[in-house]
Chain A
């Protein structure tokens, strides 16, 4: 396979690049700044923004598969900023790929594109819902996913993968923030930490992206949720991450409504102050931490012929080793 992967500076991107290169695929990458993994493996790099058609056209040249992972993530930013990178950027990449005769377009999405705020217990992949998805990130990803999947069959095969809460050694997003907050004693649980959530150990998410590229024909036009298939309470997940990092787990818990209020206040305060770091609580986070979201992986397993190879227990052992 000749693969172009966008967003190789992220942990998931970098690990996916490694996995593809290791099995002998030709890999090129594209992102704004040179990435460590590309330097290390000596891969072709296309530097630039995903919204730039010229860079995109040059990048897809010669590729038969695009794995589009580059995105604006997090909670900080305006609707316009998210739209620009995640929707316009995806359009540009998709158009360039079609133009260049790329066969497969794998869109890395998120289960939050279909999460309207209610608890999800054992749900299969529902259609992306930009109107009701919570937060600008999810809305923009939902719009983009819908467009990508709608483009299937128009001279290109498209597929979307929705890994849920990816974590592992070196992860600064989930693990990093939890550990940092725990260190500062600023970590609190929402709703007693009881909600059950699915997460994905890094290697399993990498396997799923590779599987999606391999099985794009079988899963064409559809979205697939990826997780470890071992839901745990928020309380247990946070405690075990803290434990692996040698930090004390949180003991405080705030009710869901209080967390939501605190999130609303913090978001406004951050906006007024013009801060670009993450507020300590957001409404999106309150929802994520305060309601269950775990999934039915049967379709993903069957269609992508993928299995989570690393169990949570093994994942935590590896995480602890990375902190040691």
Chain B
């Protein structure tokens, strides 16, 4: 053995130590290990994969969880451990790890931490030491080759005679190739660290042997060992498991994650969106995340109580004798279904699903246009106990792909268009088609399911504590996050909406907003989707809305601000609709002027705007009259918290972090925290995110920043990630943007920070009609400074653009992080371009 050369980036020579012991074949060997030093609570035993060495774990060795020791072993023949000249197969490698831990005298609690092919080695060790096993952490690894995985192709290609040696031994290409999978590619000094022990062909021999030891075929010398490990994982049901996953790994794809989850369903999962194979490199925060997870071991959070109300499908079941229409489609291929028929279809679909092998708990993605079929399928799936993966077309194709990949559905149900799109997304899902889907390989059609269901028993319904739906955030501030709801939580949401807006079965709904288009059935009221493209709410005309209202003699209209804006534009000549009692603007903040304008079409209606998010809705509600009365303030007033919801503020500290204890004191700016029966259960496969969001037991941290006024009304000042931290403390964007938007020439504005957090400067980027991108004209700059005078911020510069980047779904949520980066580039003297 030798020691790592000095000066490797991020590596402290003091961590290196030798472990000399007689291995299971009776030969004395010396291993190189990194050791963070004594820890009274236990040891994290880290095992690298191929091609790598303990360098992979340097961040964890540098910052162990308090009281824990971190040991990272260089596997024999790898890193700076001995070169034996022998072929070390999986079983031998497990023996080796045993030899090392015995020599080190590790007898206390151990958490194994492993990456890549270090996974099976560490699990082999874990299964031999269940008595001292305190936890298992795995990253991009596998214990079994799932049939549908493409990894064997890659490995087989590498194992082609003649190729393997060239790739792995004769050159550094295998290490290089592995590192270049990384997103982003590690800096040169880090790459140097990975190459360090493998500078000569002779030192790389094990890299080749490791690849040869992957049992792709039955009868392979290591196949039995690996199978035993895979089968043995059942014994770990009581052991906490954390899976840290890089979704962009071309070898250990999400299919391996699903395989591991199937074997260890209790595992905590965090997918680092954007990361590839080398998670410890691509997601440097992994070390802090592992530390947090290890610190949580043994602490039990009280389970959240789930309220129980009527099942989601009960609204339809109650009216099954009612010939009234439940769902009405508008437009050319319009269809209508009565409550009775809808009830039958729901039961048939549930029964047909069960008869077709779809299990309770299976994840099923829906790519179906809102309407009769979607309603029947959705409630049918709920009745079956399946988990419905709802992706809003507003995420855009890329966003949908990212969302679906993270959800990992077993089935995708879609029409031709939906399935054609899904086919390109690399999902390991089976397809179920709704209607004709020529050229698409579907295992089932909706018709087949319903036919089967007509003669099959309706399965037992799920309970309130069973998972019901996986919805996705809009992704306006980072990749869309999956949000898991239980049945009880969706029931609570229905009750909250019904009581807030006094909805009874005598109401009739026009829903021009995706998520609400499906709510009618749960409420037991007829609903209509107007003739529009729901993915582009801007397409809804006042006439199309009026037609929909007339079709059911609607009492309620739900629409997004983007749809309302177009309704306002096209309302000339459209007669008033006095039957509507409630106009609801939902999905994004709405200007009072717009709501007032649209209200002229609904002379007897009250206009409301609920505030909430994918994770919990509604949180608060504001009436148009209040909106108009409160006037301007620091942010947007969203009204009082609704009955059943408690809102508290966690104050921002001087560095812009929401560290304050939960309080309802007025005029304190901080993160909005919510407690409600209809809050999500958790973020899906985002353990780190979930831990941060629910760090106050029973509360959801929304990531929004705001304050209460003297009347207990909530004002939203922006997103936590958009808070600008100047030398004088945190500054929030929304209030400033509203004031700048009061300048007639400005259509939309973003207040962004440039420079490092803590020393940031506030820059205003204004969207104006005639603007060239770049510095604002002096006149506009001075007016902007003038309207912001009361905020006492210094505004070093004002920039203009012709269009600010906004989210696809609402066409209104500004990507301030992106705008900030652009502003900084421009003001650094860089290229102007567009944000």
Contacts of B202-245 to chain A: CB distance below 8 A? none
Q: A5-13, A129-137, A152-160, A231-239: which one contacts chain B?
A: A231-239
Chain A, Cβ-Cβ closest to B727: A298
B826 within 8 A of partner (CB) = yes
Q: A23-31, A118-126, A141-149, A177-185: which one contacts chain B?
A: A118-126
B594 within 8 A of partner (CB) = no
Q: B6-14, B686-694, B753-761: which one contacts chain A?
A: B753-761
Contacts of B792-823 to chain A: CB distance below 8 A? 794, 796-797
Given A291-B829, A292-B827, A294-B755: A193 and B775 within 8 A (CB)?
Answer: yes
CA distance A194 to B758 in the complex (A): 23
CA distance A291 to B830 in the complex (A): 8
Q: DSSP majority for the B interface?
A: loop
A296 within 8 A of partner (CB) = yes
A219 within 8 A of partner (CB) = no
A124 CB contacts on chain B under 8 angstroms? 759
Query: Looking at the complex, which one of B758, B759, B797, B824 makes contact with A233 (CB distance below 8 Å)?
Result: B797
Beta-carbon contact of B761 and A294 below 8 Å: yes
B633 CB contacts on chain A under 8 angstroms? none
Nearest CB of chain A from residue B788's CB, rounded to whole Å = 14
Q: DSSP majority for the A interface?
A: mixed
CA distance A127 to B219 in the complex (A): 63
B828 within 8 A of partner (CB) = yes
B778 within 8 A of partner (CB) = yes
Chain B, Cβ-Cβ closest to A297: B727
B698 CB contacts on chain A under 8 angstroms? none
Chain B, Cβ-Cβ closest to A232: B796
Given A296-B727, A298-B759: A196 and B774 within 8 A (CB)?
Answer: no
Query: Looking at the complex, which one of A192, A230, A291, A296 makes contact with B758 (CB distance below 8 Å)?
Result: A296
B760 CB contacts on chain A under 8 angstroms? 122
Chain A, Cβ-Cβ closest to B781: A236
Beta-carbon contact of B759 and A194 below 8 Å: no
Chain A, Cβ-Cβ closest to B761: A231
Contacts of B164-198 to chain A: CB distance below 8 A? none
B827 CB contacts on chain A under 8 angstroms? 121, 194-196, 233, 292
CA distance A292 to B761 in the complex (A): 13
A168 within 8 A of partner (CB) = no
CA distance A286 to B651 in the complex (A): 45
Beta-carbon contact of A290 and B829 below 8 Å: yes
Nearest CB of chain B from residue A123's CB, rounded to whole Å = 8
Beta-carbon contact of B797 and A239 below 8 Å: no
Beta-carbon contact of A296 and B759 below 8 Å: yes
A298 CB contacts on chain B under 8 angstroms? 727, 758-759
Given A124-B759, A193-B775, A194-B774: A231 and B796 within 8 A (CB)?
Answer: yes
Extra pairs beyond A121-B827, A235-B775, A236-B797 (20, CB < 8 Å): A121-B754, A121-B755, A122-B755, A122-B756, A122-B760, A190-B829, A192-B832, A193-B775, A194-B775, A195-B829, A196-B754, A196-B797, A196-B827, A233-B775, A236-B778, A256-B829, A294-B755, A296-B755, A296-B758, A298-B759
Q: List 30 A-B contacts (CB under 8 A).
A: A119-B828, A119-B829, A121-B756, A121-B824, A121-B828, A122-B759, A123-B756, A124-B759, A192-B832, A194-B827, A194-B832, A195-B827, A195-B828, A229-B727, A229-B794, A230-B794, A230-B796, A231-B761, A231-B796, A231-B797, A232-B796, A233-B796, A236-B778, A239-B778, A292-B827, A296-B727, A296-B756, A296-B758, A297-B759, A301-B727
Q: Which A residues fall within an 8 A CB radius of B?
A: 119, 121-124, 190-196, 229-233, 235-236, 239, 256, 290-292, 294-298, 301
Q: Which B residues fall within an 8 A CB radius of A?
A: 727, 754-756, 758-761, 774-775, 778, 781, 794, 796-797, 824, 826-830, 832
